[in-house]
Amino acid sequence: MPFLLNLSSHTFLAPMAGVTDKPFRQMVRHFGPHLIWTEMIAATSLFYHSQTTERMMDLSGELGPIAIQIVGNNPEHMAFAAHKAEENGAVLIDINMGCPVKKLISNISGAALMRDPYQAFQIVKAVKDAVDVPVTVKMRLGWDKDECNVVDFAQHMEEAGADALTIHARTKEQGYSGKADWSFISAVKSKVHIPIFANGDIVDEISAQKCLSITKADGVMIGRGALGKPWILSEIDGKSPCFGLKEIVLEHFERLLSYYGAKGLFIARKHLAWYATGHSFVAQFRRLVYAEKKKENVIALIKEFF
Ligand X SMILES: Cc1cc2nc3c(=O)[nH]c(=O)nc-3n(C[C@H](O)[C@H](O)[C@H](O)COP(=O)(O)O)c2cc1C
List residues near ligand X by CB under 6 A: 14-19, 39-40, 69, 96, 98-99, 138, 168, 176, 199-202, 222-225
Phi and psi dihedrals of 96, rounded to 5? -80, 115
Nearer to ligand X, 24 or 31 (CB): 24
Cα separation, 52 vs 55, whole angstroms: 5
| Catalytic residue from among 99, 148, 211, 242 | 99
Contact between 184 and 141 under an 8 Å Cβ cutoff? The reply is: yes
Nearer to ligand X, 40 or 66 (CB): 40
Give the DSSP per-residue string, 234-255.
Answer: HHHTT------HHHHHHHHHHH
Nearer to ligand X, 147 or 204 (CB): 204
Min separation Cβ 87 and ligand X, Å: 21
Nearer to ligand X, 19 or 194 (CB): 19
Min separation Cβ 244 and ligand X, Å: 26
Based on the residue annotation, tell me whether 99 is a catalytic residue of this protein: yes
Min separation Cβ 111 and ligand X, Å: 9
Residues paired with 199 in a beta bridge:
168, 221
Min separation Cβ 125 and ligand X, Å: 20
* Residue nearest ligand X by beta-carbon distance: 223
- 279, with CB counted inside 10 A (0-12, 13-18, 19+), is exposed
At position 298, the amino acid (one-letter code) is V
Nearer to ligand X, 75 or 200 (CB): 200
Among left, alpha and beta (phi > 0; psi -120 to 50; other), residue 67 is beta
Min separation Cβ 222 and ligand X, Å: 5
Cα separation, 128 vs 134, whole angstroms: 8
Sequence-distant (6+) residues with CB within 8 A of 245 are 275, 306
Tell me the catalytic residues. 99
